[in-house]
Chains A and B, each alone.
Chain A
Amino acid sequence: MQLIREIGFLLQKEFTLEWRQKYAISGILLYVLSTVYIVYSSFTKLEPAIWNIQFWVIILFASVSAVVKSFQQESGQRQLYYYSLANPLAVLLSKMLYNTLLLLFLSILAYLALSLVAGNQVQQARPFALALLLGSLGFSITFTFVSAIASKASNSATLMAILSFPLIIPVLMTLIKMTAAAVTTANPAAIDLREDLLTLVAIDLLLLGAALALFPFLWRD
């Protein structure tokens, strides 16, 4: 119960902080829009299968840039202060939750922008929406934890990409497979939604479990 209350307060803190430093969020929004436009102007006409892959590549790069600051924007001393006030797991979980919401917002924005310039190719909304939700969750869990690891080193931006890209591949492959059918065909029977969902949820839970078990060893300096 205490943990949930702490997560609530910390989440509120993340929102306040983001609102005060508007340059970070507006930078990411601009990043998404410019990548979408680069993709559009280099392809002009996007086939559904390519649309799907390009969409996830945009999300991938935007997500890394959005999450990398999770554990770096605040100084070490201030973080130590948080850890002494609240359960360290609450700090991690609140950041994961905040990043999930942020990435969900980014994905919807990227989807709208890509649909505007390259046409809305999504033929089945339900599997696509589920993929966005579970994708944001999986990206957020992995990237938040990797950002906690990378923030311990000095040149963390490079490290963040090196560490997180190979780790995210299982989630990314499952997402691409799940949405590929949703984009190319209107026939709901073409997607084995249960298997893909189960795989995604299982991978997300596995990574979340590992992150929660390992964070107590990571935050202390």
Chain B
Amino acid sequence: MLKHWWKILGVAILFYVFVAGLLVPLKTGISAVSPQKVAPGESFTLEVTGYNSRYTQAQGQIRAWLKQDEAHALAAGSVTVLDDRRLQLAFAMPEYLPSDKKVQVLTLLIDDPVDGAHVLPSAMFVTQDSIAPGLAGSAWTAHPVEGLHEEWTMSYPFRNILQETIRNAYFHIPMWFAMIFIFIGAVISSVRYLRKFDPQDDLKAAAFTRVGILYGIMGLVTGAIWAKNTWGAYWSGDIKQNMTAIALLIYLAYFVLRNAFEDPDKKARVAAVYNLFSFAALIPLIYVVPRLYDSLHPGSGGNPALGGEDLDNTMRLVFYPAIIGWTLLGLWIAQLLYRADRLRDRLWMNA
């Protein structure tokens, strides 16, 4: 039992990842507002649709602002709660904005003690015909944004396009980390084979490579489902999608190469050499070429990188264990495949 500790640990971590990853709720968010465009000097009622919000419980304590920057925010005159999800905010937009841009983007910020503070970036566009920041008046500074309820709760960030799919971060991204770790395992086994010429190391390398390919396919599939929900198509020809497909071709060729040999020693030696050479080719494929092209993925083409607000401290509590859990599970699968191969070899020799 003791020597199986890492398998138990891996399964326990994955159990935690599935439970926490799928059951912990999202933070309160704002999924829609209307209208989205107003003119200066206009008084209007902003209809807000909340997500995971409990506005009826917070009735009377809700405050809202249209924020231009840290120093300038316009407070809502009155707040009407329609139900848990819907709010009506009355605003009186002043004649002038404290901004020298023709089109100013405002962020909607709602705060109440039940749901905490939640924001919708770029909620509203104001087009001003005459620009005079000096005439903006006191409405922008009379009710500063302060006393926000920002207590920590066990919940994941709400992002407008991602919404509930943010949970896929525990399945899609760790798959790539685990795949690289497993391929590194194959590299180590191949190097050991070339040093000692022990056939078992060759079987280990082949088992690691098979699991690495499995994880690559799982990563592509989870990514495609995520892409369908956020980018609108399963396959958008994104550079990282293409490069991953090619990386899988490289490793599938490894098995074609293995099958091309009759002599087991020659097969093992050439396969180990190819495994190491293809890992060297994999590094530019995954880490260099995608940086030269625009991508829809976070961290490239002007998109924010993974981390920052997208991966907050609550998500880290699940994300890092997920990497370890998937890697341990992969090692376990690889061990089973290796043992099955070794048994098959022994049966074949005795037959």
Interface flags, B220-264, vs A, CB<8A=1, else 0 = 000000000000000000000001001101100100110011000
- In the complex, whether A2 has a CB less than 8 A from a CB of chain B is no
**B266 with A221: CB separation less than 8 A:** yes
Given known A167-B278, A207-B281, contact A199–B273 (CB-CB < 8 A): no
Q: Which of A169-183 contact B (CB under 8 A)?
A: 169-170, 173-174, 177
Closest Cβ of chain A to B186, distance in Å, is 15
**A153 with B246: CB separation less than 8 A:** no
Given known A153-B261, A166-B246, contact A145–B288 (CB-CB < 8 A): no
**B257 with A149: CB separation less than 8 A:** yes
- In the complex, whether A154 has a CB less than 8 A from a CB of chain B is yes
**B270 with A170: CB separation less than 8 A:** no
Contacts of B243 in A (CB 8 A): 169
Closest Cβ of chain A to B282, distance in Å, is 9
- In the complex, whether B289 has a CB less than 8 A from a CB of chain A is yes
Q: How would you classify the secondary structure of chain A's contact residues: helix, strand, loop or mixed?
A: helix
- In the complex, whether B283 has a CB less than 8 A from a CB of chain A is yes
Interface flags, B268-286, vs A, CB<8A=1, else 0 = 0110111011101101110
A142 to B283, CA, bound (A): 15
Contacts of A203 in B (CB 8 A): 284, 288
- In the complex, whether B184 has a CB less than 8 A from a CB of chain A is no
Closest Cβ of chain B to A208, distance in Å, is 10
Contact count band on A:
20 to 34
**B274 with A163: CB separation less than 8 A:** yes
**B257 with A159: CB separation less than 8 A:** yes
**B281 with A214: CB separation less than 8 A:** no
**B270 with A153: CB separation less than 8 A:** yes
- In the complex, whether B293 has a CB less than 8 A from a CB of chain A is yes
**A162 with B281: CB separation less than 8 A:** no
Interface flags, B53-90, vs A, CB<8A=1, else 0 = 00000000000000000000000000000000000000
**B194 with A217: CB separation less than 8 A:** yes
A163 to B194, CA, bound (A): 20
**B253 with A163: CB separation less than 8 A:** yes
Contacting residue for A214 out of B257, B276, B283, B292, CB 8 A: B276
**A169 with B285: CB separation less than 8 A:** yes
Contacts of B247 in A (CB 8 A): 166
**A174 with B276: CB separation less than 8 A:** no
A6 to B62, CA, bound (A): 84
**B289 with A173: CB separation less than 8 A:** yes
Contacts of A149 in B (CB 8 A): 257, 270, 273-274, 277
Given known A163-B257, A170-B289, contact A152–B270 (CB-CB < 8 A): yes
Contacts of B269 in A (CB 8 A): 217-218
Contacting residue for A206 out of B250, B274, B284, CB 8 A: B284
Given known A163-B274, A167-B250, contact A202–B260 (CB-CB < 8 A): no
What are 13 of the A-B contact pairs (CB < 8 Å)?
Answer: A142-B281, A152-B270, A154-B260, A163-B257, A165-B249, A166-B246, A166-B281, A167-B281, A169-B246, A169-B285, A170-B288, A173-B292, A217-B273
Given contacts A202-B284, A217-B272, 7 further A-B contacts (CB under 8 A): A149-B270, A152-B266, A162-B256, A169-B246, A210-B277, A211-B277, A213-B276
